[in-house]
């Protein structure tokens, strides 16, 4: 395997950027240290990637972070986690410019402004923007959803993840289940819907008989949907929410109706929101770590920018069921967790 600049940095006991400056004769720093770095690089057989060097000569040190939408972001939590993930990896070397695809003027991308772009894609309509980035030869990575395109892709299997949530309810004896879904225009909603429906079929249940209520991933929509659910003649034993923010809204509606979680109604969410393990509700949920997805995507992008390593693989990060205290075991009359 070819020796990389990071291998040289590790052997020399200095940072990547220090090695890069030393090998390229940039700056007026410690000449003795520079000579040491050059000697170590030669001894290790390091060969600079010419394509990467040519790219560096015209770099802006800007990385674009484009969301499907900023003006109508489905969850501030997702926005925060992704921004923190990208900044954690790139913030010391690059300026991160945050924008929304829905506010982009087609054809207006300036290749000289961005060294690379992280695209958090949630909709099929994003493909026009993705094609523009590709056609203008701007390195990019696509995160959040599976996109069959000639670019690296980092996401998680949301159908499988939501299937775990429904599996858990069914395994704990719940059959009277209502579902609060998210924005129907987003791919994440479609994948999560697929997941809970497949889970029910796997357990011999009919998903078409399950009451479904629309939401938009925001607290208020979870609250309003739960209020409608509680007006039903036959009250469910559990509510499955498409994200934690709506689950917290549903929780408050349940309390306002004089009921308790989980003794009278169980509740399960999705995302493992920062507040899920705090406050007065220990929410059982599925963890989709958007911060880690953003970090891994940014690592791949920076490896291409700094080392010329092109990796167009599709990576699925693991999702985990986080069992806390909001799902009652109906078969035993107790509480899970």
24-33: pLDDT as tens digits: 665 555 678 8
Percent of the chain surpassing pLDDT 70? 90
Q: In this model, does residue 55 exceed pLDDT 60?
A: no
Based on the fold, state whether residues 31 and 73 are members of the same structural domain: no
CA dist 93 and 27 (Å) reads 16
Based on the fold, state whether residues 214 and 249 are members of the same structural domain: yes
Tell whether 107 is covered by a domain: yes
Instruction: Give the mean pLDDT of the chain.
Output: 89
Q: In this model, does residue 1 exceed pLDDT 80?
A: no
Tell how many helices (H) and how many strands (E) occur in the chain. Answer: 11, 14
Based on the fold, state whether residues 138 and 29 are members of the same structural domain: no
Nearest to 176, CA basis, from 132, 220, 230, 254:
230
Out of 32-46, 50-64, 145-159, 208-222, give the one with best mean pLDDT.
Answer: 208-222
**Segment 192-221, tens digit of pLDDT:** 999 999 999 999 999 999 999 999 999 999
CA dist 206 and 197 (Å) reads 8
Based on the fold, state whether residues 88 and 232 are members of the same structural domain: no
- Cβ atoms of 132 and 278 within 8 Å: the answer is no
Tell whether 330 is covered by a domain: yes
Q: In this model, does residue 245 exceed pLDDT 80?
A: yes
Based on the fold, state whether residues 283 and 149 are members of the same structural domain: no
Tell whether 54 is covered by a domain: no
Domain containing residue 135: CATH number: 3.40.50.2300
What values do phi and psi take at 179, rounded to 5?
-120, 130
- Domain holding 28, by residue range, is 5-48
CA dist 250 and 295 (Å) reads 31
Rounded mean pLDDT of 40-49? 82
Number of domains in the chain: 3
């Amino acid at each position: 395997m070819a020796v990389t600049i990071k291998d040289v940095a590790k052997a020399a006991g200095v940072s990547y950027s220090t090695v890069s400056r030393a090998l390229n004769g940039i700056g007026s720093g410690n000449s003795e240290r520079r000579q040491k770095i050059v000697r170590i690089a030669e001894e290790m057989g390091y060969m600079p990637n010419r394509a990467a060097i040519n790219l560096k000569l015209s770099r802006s040190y800007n990385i674009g972070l484009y969301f499907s939408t900023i003006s109508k972001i489905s969850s501030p939590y997702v926005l925060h986690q992704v921004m923190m993930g990208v900044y954690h990896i790139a913030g010391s070397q690059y300026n991160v410019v945050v924008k929304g695809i829905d506010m982009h003027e087609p054809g207006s991308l300036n290749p000289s402004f961005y060294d690379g772009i992280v695209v958090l894609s949630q909709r099929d309509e994003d493909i026009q923007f993705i094609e523009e980035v590709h056609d203008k030869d701007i390195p990019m990575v696509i995160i959040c959803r599976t996109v069959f395109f000639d670019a690296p892709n980092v996401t998680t299997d949301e159908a499988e993840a939501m299937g775990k949530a429904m599996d858990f309810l069914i395994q704990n004896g719940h059959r009277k289940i209502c579902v609060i879904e998210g924005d129907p225009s987003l791919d994440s909603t479609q994948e999560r819907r697929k997941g809970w429906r497949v889970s029910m079929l796997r357990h011999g249940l009919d998903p078409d008989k399950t009451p479904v209520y629309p939401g938009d991933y925001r607290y208020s929509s979870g609250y309003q949907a739960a209020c409608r659910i509680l007006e039903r003649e036959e009250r469910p034993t559990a509510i499955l929410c498409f994200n934690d923010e709506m689950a917290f809204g549903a929780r408050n509606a349940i309390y306002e109706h004089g009921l308790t979680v989980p003794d009278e109604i169980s509740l399960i969410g999705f995302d493992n929101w920062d507040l899920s393990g705090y406050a007065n509700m220990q929410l059982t949920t599925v963890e989709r770590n958007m911060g880690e997805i953003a970090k891994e995507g940014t690592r791949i992008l920076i490896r291409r920018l700094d080392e010329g390593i092109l990796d167009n693989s599709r990576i699925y990060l693991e999702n985990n069921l986080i069992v806390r205290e909001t799902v009652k075991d109906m078969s035993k009359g107790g509480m899970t967790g």
